[in-house]
Amino acid sequence: MAFELTDANFKEKVLDNEGVVVVDFWAAWCGPCLMIAPVIEELSKEYEGKALIGKLDVDTNPETPLKYGIRGIPTLLIFRGGEVVDKHVGVISKAALVEKVEAQLEQLAS
C-alpha cells in the first residue's frame, strides 16, 4: 500500500529523505486520481526498499499542496534528496512513471 503522507509527516518522510520519493496529490472525489491509484499501489510494492511511493489527500492536508502550488489533481511530484526534481499533472501510464522513477534512482546512484 502506498505510504499515507500528511502535512504533519511530510517534512520527515519527504523533505528529510535522501532517496527518491514520489508524492501523489489526490482526492477521493477526483476521477483521474482514482484511475491512477492502482498504478501508484503497484509501484509502492515494486519499489519497496528502493523509493518511497506516497499519497497525500489534498482535502485533509491543505498546507502541503498550497506550499507546492498544486492547482490540479492528480499531480505527481518526484523528490530526490528532499528537492522536487520532476512533476507530472494528470493521468500517467505506469510505463511513463516507471521511467521517471528509474531516471531519478540512476541519478541518485551516480
Cite the active site residues: 30, 33
The half-sphere exposure of 107 on its side-chain side, counting CA atoms within 13 A, is 17
Give the integer Cα–Cα distance in Å for 32 and 48.
24
Rg from Cα positions in the chain: 13
On whether the CB atoms of residues 73 and 27 are closer than 8 A, the answer is yes
Look at the block and give the residue holding cell 517534512: 11
On whether the CB atoms of residues 91 and 74 are closer than 8 A, the answer is yes
